[in-house]
């Protein structure tokens, strides 16, 4: 059922659409269909070679490995991803605000952001590992993986502020800082959170790639070890766990967004 919510300070009623139960049911049905298709294809096409084990085999291997095997690796990867996510997003937000304050620097600084985004993580990772060592290279790679997405989302959000609202602040004696605080930041929040949701899985991926390039623990290291020992079912199990960790980050970010931005418009595609 649709409800009407008002953004603080805007005076404008905005609709907020709640997801119907059928939407969640469709997701469950789709996931079940995917698992069934995986089981059928794995048994029919890859049964002899075992390169794509069925989900029943993967789940059995995961149960055999147990929490004691997965949790230390999950904890390491999540720690690296969270630190990288925080620093990468803070740097992106700071740069976006700098672009807003100094328009003459927008083009060179955006070019800098594009350059950072285009740096191949696989190539720059070994350099970080040599220079820093420890967990820092993985955190830097996670930060690089989220930086550009958040930068673009924040810039777009800051520039999406309504001209009429900016003019009202100016008419009442406000300056550019007041416009930013009272209008532009509020306008940027939905776009920023859209970027942050994408950044959460990207941070996990960046941390895992860093572990591939060098590390003593983590999901990436565990995956390399299982590949080298030809433990195919375990490799698939680790991949499923990594996917779950990335989805958890996405879900937490989306949940925080719903709590602190109830006034934002949410369109329910049909």
Q: What is the pLDDT of residues 84-98, one digit of tens each?
A: 999 999 999 999 998
Residue 91 in 3-state DSSP?
A: helix
Distances, alpha carbon 250 to alpha carbons 16, 17, 109, 165, 198, in Å? 21, 20, 28, 32, 7
Residue 243 to residue 62: CA distance in whole angstroms = 14
Q: Which residue has the tokens 């890859």?
A: 46
Higher pLDDT among residues 152 and 215, named by residue: 152
CB 247 within 8 A of CB 239: no
Q: In degrees, to the nearest 5, what angle opens at C-alpha 140 toward C-alphas 138 and 141?
A: 65
Under the banding of pLDDT at 50, 70 and 90, the label for residue 47 is low
- Cβ proximity of 16 and 5 under 8 Å: yes
Q: How many CB atoms lie within 10 A of CB 236?
A: 24
User: What is the structure's pLDDT at 5?
Assistant: 47
Residue 232 structure tokens: 């195919």
For residues 190 and 161, give the distance between their C-alpha atoms in angstroms, rounded to a whole number: 12
The reported pTM is 0.79
Chain-centroid distance, C-alpha 62: 25
Place of tokens 């941390």: 207
What contacts 107, CB < 8 A, 6 or more positions away? none
Q: Nearest 5 degrees, angle CA 73-CA 78-CA 83?
A: 135
8 versus 35: which is more confidently predicted?
35
Half-sphere exposure of 205 (CA within 13 A, CB side): 13
- Higher-confidence residue: 34 or 227? 227
Sign of the C-alpha dihedral, residues 12, 191, 243, 68?
negative
* DSSP states along 97-131: HHHHH-GGGHHHHHHHHHHHHHS-HHHHHHHHHHH
- Our measurement of the distance from residue 159's CA atom to the centroid of its chain's CA atoms, rounded to an integer in Å, reads 22
SS3 174: coil
Q: For position 56, what pLDDT does the model report?
A: 84
First-to-last alpha carbon distance for the chain, in angstroms, is: 15
**16-34 average pLDDT score:** 65
Q: What's the CA angle centered on 252, arms 259 and 159, to 5 degrees?
A: 65
H/E segment holding residue 214:
none
pLDDT digits (tens, 9 = 90+) for 120-175: 877 788 888 888 878 888 999 999 999 989 998 998 888 888 888 777 878 877 77
Query: Any idea how long the chain is?
Result: 270
Q: Report whether pLDDT(52) > 60.
A: yes
> What is the reported pLDDT for 106?
79
Is 3.40.50.300 the CATH classification of the domain at 72-260? no
């Amino acid at each position: 059922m649709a409800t009407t919510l008002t953004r603080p300070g805007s005076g404008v009623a905005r609709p907020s659409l709640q997801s119907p139960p059928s939407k969640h049911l469709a997701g469950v049905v789709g996931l079940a269909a995917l698992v069934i298709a995986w089981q059928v294809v794995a048994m029919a096409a890859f049964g002899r070679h075992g390169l794509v084990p069925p989900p029943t085999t993967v789940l059995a291997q995961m149960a055999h490995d147990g929490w004691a095997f997965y949790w230390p690796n999950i904890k390491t990867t999540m720690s690296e991803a969270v630190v990288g996510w925080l620093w990468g997003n803070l740097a992106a937000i700071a740069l976006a605000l700098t672009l807003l304050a100094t328009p003459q620097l927008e083009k060179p600084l955006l070019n800098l952001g594009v350059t950072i985004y285009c740096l191949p993580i696989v190539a720059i990772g070994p350099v970080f590992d040599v220079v820093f060592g420890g967990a820092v290279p993985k955190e830097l790679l996670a930060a690089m993986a989220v930086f550009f997405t958040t930068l673009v989302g924040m810039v777009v959000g800051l520039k999406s502020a309504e001209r009429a609202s900016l003019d009202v602040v100016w008419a009442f004696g406000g300056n550019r800082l007041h416009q930013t605080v009272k209008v532009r930041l509020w306008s940027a929040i939905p776009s920023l959170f859209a970027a942050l949701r994408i950044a959460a899985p990207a941070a996990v991926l960046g941390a895992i790639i860093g572990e591939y390039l060098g590390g003593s623990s983590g999901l990436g290291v565990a995956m390399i070890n299982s590949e080298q020992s030809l433990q195919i079912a375990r490799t698939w199990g680790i991949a499923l766990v990594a996917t779950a960790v990335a989805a958890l980050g996405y879900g937490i970010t989306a949940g925080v967004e719903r709590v602190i931005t109830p006034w934002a418009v949410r369109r329910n595609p049909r």
